[in-house]
């Protein structure tokens, strides 16, 4: 699976906290699942365009 997140951006967003190495993998999996669900909702509504409401 390709990386869907930018580790540097996550680290910047959580600059007041330490981030474990395995956090990035877990976050990437969550994002992938979110994207799959959004695509599924778009398809269920006969659309090829994923829109914010699909989240």
The overall average pLDDT reported for the chain is 95
pLDDT higher than 90, residue 1: no
Is residue 42 within 8 A of residue 54, CB to CB? The reply is yes
Report d(CA 1, CA 44) in Å as an integer: 24
pLDDT higher than 80, residue 51: yes
Q: Mean pLDDT over residues 22-36, rounded?
A: 96
Handedness of CA 41, 49, 10, 33 (dihedral sign): positive
Q: Mean pLDDT over residues 22-43, rounded?
A: 97
Percent of the chain residues past pLDDT 90, beyond the cut: 93
Is residue 3 within 8 A of residue 28, CB to CB? The reply is yes
Domain residue ranges in the chain? 7-44
Is residue 28 within 8 A of residue 5, CB to CB? The reply is yes
Q: Is the entire prediction scored with pTM above 0.75?
A: yes
């Amino acid at each position: 699976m390709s990386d869907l997140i930018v580790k540097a951006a996550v680290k910047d967003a959580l600059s007041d906290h330490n981030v474990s190495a395995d956090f990035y993998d877990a976050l990437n999996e969550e994002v992938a699942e979110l994207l799959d669900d959004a695509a599924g909702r778009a398809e269920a509504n006969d659309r090829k365009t994923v829109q914010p409401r699909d989240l």
